[in-house]
Chain A
Amino acid sequence: MLAGIIVVVIFFGSLYLIFSEKLNRTITALAGSVLTIVVGRIMGFYSEEQAITAIDFNTLGLLLGMMILVAMLEPTGFFQYLAVLAARSSKGNPTRLFILLAAITTILSMFLDNVTTVVLIAPVTLLICEILGIMSMPFLITEALISNIGGVATLVGDPPNVLIASAAPFSFNDFLIHSLPIVLVVWVGVMFLLKYLFRAELDVRPRKAKAVMKLNPAETLNHPATARQLLIVLGAAILFFFVHHFLHVDPSLVALTAAALALVWVRPDINQTLKHVEWSVLVFFGALFVMVGGLEAAGVLDALIGLLEPLASVPPILFGIGMIWVVALLSAVVDNVPITIALIPVIHGLGASGMDVQPLWWALAFGAGFGGTGTIIGSTANVIVANLSERTRHPITPAIWNKRGPWVLLTTCAITSVLYAILYWTF
């Protein structure tokens, strides 16, 4: 009992520090996890070995593999290439450009980290808008919003999905069957909404529409040969993602194999490549796993499941829809990774008490993914775009965001709730 109280205090104390941004999230999680192990050792409920087994190496391996691939693809200029192609095919028409850039961002964010997608697509978007002589703000906000939405569609699109897939467990194709169709409908809905919200900025005639036709996509590729090699490897990895569960191979092995292959084939400066891997994210995930492992070992989760038993009488569809909204609203103001990691054992617990939790996993994925659109701090992609715009003549302020973000959050969750109810029997 006492052990349980102490780990709960450590866990919620750490969450408080993370959510209030009083201390860097990785530092907090690392300190919190070490503290959990120390207490566990002293009181005899949690050992180093248990802590190591609590870490979900499938999640870490998948993230690491994809990060290495992206770190290698980044300097090739492939992302600029795609954006320039979009600019040319838009012929300078703002609405067409808006849809094309959003589509590219969505597809990239389905397979790559949302933050990476935005970091690479936003600067070239700024360039295209400036030479056209139109406001870049609608494009930048849309790219951040739409990267959050696109990420929900696939297993590898967003860290919460990676976590959920490993916990549930779901295959890559499960996401294509259950998540992708909902994301597609949400995407169309959100694009109509954004087109309406930005009508004043988009219904303009660019001053220099012809300038984009002089952009040469071929010249944007710094290393065309390397880009080709990496796209072949990435394509092969995606093919293997489709069949990984038939082969009984974990997605992390697919991602790490692809990363290893790409490294052997391209042979980049490995120190440079590894510098671009976000180690702080990996350490943060690992440390959170150790803390949740401590909660489990101290018997907190069993106690929680006892408390949740009355919830089993709530109609399951309502429970799922409620979960989408609660998780989305939470994710709009705080980091969705700790929320997901904390809710995974709860859902496991509900499952153990006899509830059908398959639909709940999807509710968690939708809520955690779509929630990030709500506020300027809702997701790292939003923060990145806001920071970038602060260094331009037209910074995106929280006030500018708040005129659109909450509407996008409401629209995505409303559409998702309806589809969730209709498709409930398929989950």
Chain B
Amino acid sequence: MTVSTCMKRHVVSIHSSDSIRSAAAIFVKKHIGLLPVVDDKNKVIGVVGLRDLLTLEMPDFIEFIEDVDFVHDFGAVETTRPDAETLDQPVTSILKSVFTVEEDCGLLRAYALMLQHNLHDMPVVNKKGELVGITSRVDIGTKILSLWSSVE
């Protein structure tokens, strides 16, 4: 069973010149976790994850304090939004390099790669390297579990 059996074929992407603000709007509208960024020729030049956008709102202390369990109320940080200047930056300012698998990749291998690269969503490409779909840990994981029903 390959990863092509459990990927979403309709992939939403964003152009590299678009702003962080418009990327956020797409995440909200489509309820997705990963957004491929494409250039004028529709070629994927990188990705932006939900996490990358949320980092913009994360307080600074998260990076320095290992265990924040004792902070029961984030207070002012809870309502601090990124400023307009940050939101109007092009989405490429927070671009991450893309990690993909080919559509004939086995399910377990795809899942292992996502674990090792700490990915929750992963673009799927064909032999020519063109984007053909996107898959997630849940997509692959549930597909694998569905095969357990055949275990006698």
> What residues of chain B lie closer than 8 Å to A123, measured between beta carbons?
61, 64-65
**A208: interface (CB < 8 Å):** yes
The answer to whether B76 and A214 touch across the interface, beta carbons within 8 angstroms, is: no
**B152: interface (CB < 8 Å):** no
Question: Could you list which residues of chain A lie within 8 angstroms of chain B, going by C-beta atoms?
Answer: 80, 84, 122-124, 126-127, 130-134, 136, 206-208, 210-212, 214-217, 219-220, 222, 388, 391-393
Question: In the complex, given contacts A133-B75, A133-B80, A207-B76, what are 16 additional A-B residue pairs having Cβ atoms less than 8 angstroms apart?
Answer: A123-B64, A123-B65, A126-B61, A127-B59, A132-B75, A134-B76, A207-B79, A208-B76, A210-B73, A211-B73, A215-B70, A219-B70, A220-B70, A388-B64, A391-B64, A393-B60
For A130, A136, A216, A391, the residue with the greatest tally of chain B CB atoms inside 10 Å of its CB is A130
Question: Could you list which residues of chain B lie within 8 angstroms of chain A, going by C-beta atoms?
Answer: 59-61, 63-65, 67-80
A296 to chain B, nearest CB (A): 45
> What residues of chain A lie closer than 8 Å to B77, measured between beta carbons?
130-131, 133
The answer to whether B74 and A219 touch across the interface, beta carbons within 8 angstroms, is: no
- With A123-B61, A126-B60 as contacts: A216 and B72 at CB distance below 8 Å: yes
The answer to whether B73 and A127 touch across the interface, beta carbons within 8 angstroms, is: no
Cα(A133)–Cα(B77), bound, Å: 7
| Cβ contacts A to B, 13 pairs, < 8 Å | A80-B65, A123-B64, A130-B59, A130-B76, A136-B60, A206-B76, A207-B76, A208-B76, A212-B75, A214-B71, A217-B70, A222-B67, A391-B60
> What residues of chain B lie closer than 8 Å to A133, measured between beta carbons?
75-77, 80
Among A131, A206, A222, A388, contact of B74 (Cβ-Cβ < 8 Å): A131
Cα(A212)–Cα(B76), bound, Å: 10
Among B61, B69, B72, contact of A130 (Cβ-Cβ < 8 Å): B61
The answer to whether A216 and B76 touch across the interface, beta carbons within 8 angstroms, is: no
For B63, B70, B73, B78, the residue with the greatest tally of chain A CB atoms inside 10 Å of its CB is B70
A367 to chain B, nearest CB (A): 33
> What residues of chain B lie closer than 8 Å to A206, measured between beta carbons?
76
> What residues of chain B lie closer than 8 Å to A210, measured between beta carbons?
73, 75
B53 to chain A, nearest CB (A): 16
> What residues of chain A lie closer than 8 Å to B61, measured between beta carbons?
123-124, 126-127, 130
Cα(A80)–Cα(B76), bound, Å: 20
